[in-house]
Amino acid sequence: MRIAMVLLLVLAIALPVAAQVTVKGDSQAWQEVQDAFGRLGTLRTFRMNITLAEMPEAPVWIFEFVALDRIRALFVLGMEIIIVGKDTATRVDISPWECRPIADLPLPDPKPQWTGEVSVTRLGPVMIDGARTRGYQLAIAETGSTSTSNHKLFVLEDGGLPRRLEDLDAAGNVTGTIDYYDFNVPISIGLPKCATQSQVPAAPSPGSAVLSQVSASKGNLKNLATALEAYLVDHGNYPTTLTDLAPDYLRGIPNDPCTDTVYLYTTTGSPAKDYKLSVDFTGSQCASIVPGLSYTPDGGLKETP
């Protein structure tokens, strides 16, 4: 259950950390890292976003926490998950809520034990969105793992709470970012009215999967449009082909998830001063939802009639 594994990972990061590790480098810095994550467990509420380097325009996950046992998660593909204690509700886009107890997914221990070896160094002060933070470089070789995970953590000088956690690849490039914010703001999370247990299918219906594909295609078009506008600002015209956007504006050019084909990109003028992105869903399951999609600078995202 991929979604469940993501939730477990996120919760393990968010909850207080009890260190059973061998510390190399600055042991006091490691204690400050533990203290920062520990303070999350004392909050009434907070929010957290996860952004991936290949999709930098918007978070792929948005989380809300209330006392760490009430959680709302929104996924870029249109999925929404609500957890209250041991109960969970899920839906995709406008589909009905489906409710089940989390019988096979126990929530993490509020004080997860990390084992292995950690190397910690200080990075000094860093400003993030106008807030002063202190940075830490972390390299964690967990027991039983043959690889080392590398991270940068930035902790707010005012209050000592985590502000940003970056995952790094072996070359030091940021592959993912977790932002923590809205500490102790009013947030209310409750279970929605769901279908009865007998009405809930044992697995996601094909319709929900198709809705997710359509939502993903819309997200791709919006991301491409954002990259095209950035290219226009830098060059004074739109690119000749979408491949000109990589790697400076996008790490790669996405295929449409419904048809597994490239998006049609047509331009007007030489050099290009206008464009149209489009995809025809004919022959795919997505055609049962909408015939196709298009995007233009003036008209924005539209469903093909």
User: What pLDDT sits at residue 200?
Assistant: 43
Q: What is the pLDDT of residues 155-184, one digit of tens each?
A: 999 999 999 999 888 888 888 888 999 999
Q: Which long-range contacts (CB under 8 A, 24 or more apart) does 57-60 make?
A: 57/222, 57/223, 57/226, 57/227, 58/219, 58/223, 59/179
Strands 18-25 and 113-128: parallel
Place of tokens 């948005």: 62
Report yes or no on whether pTM surpasses 0.75: no
Q: Is the pLDDT of residue 145 over 50?
A: yes
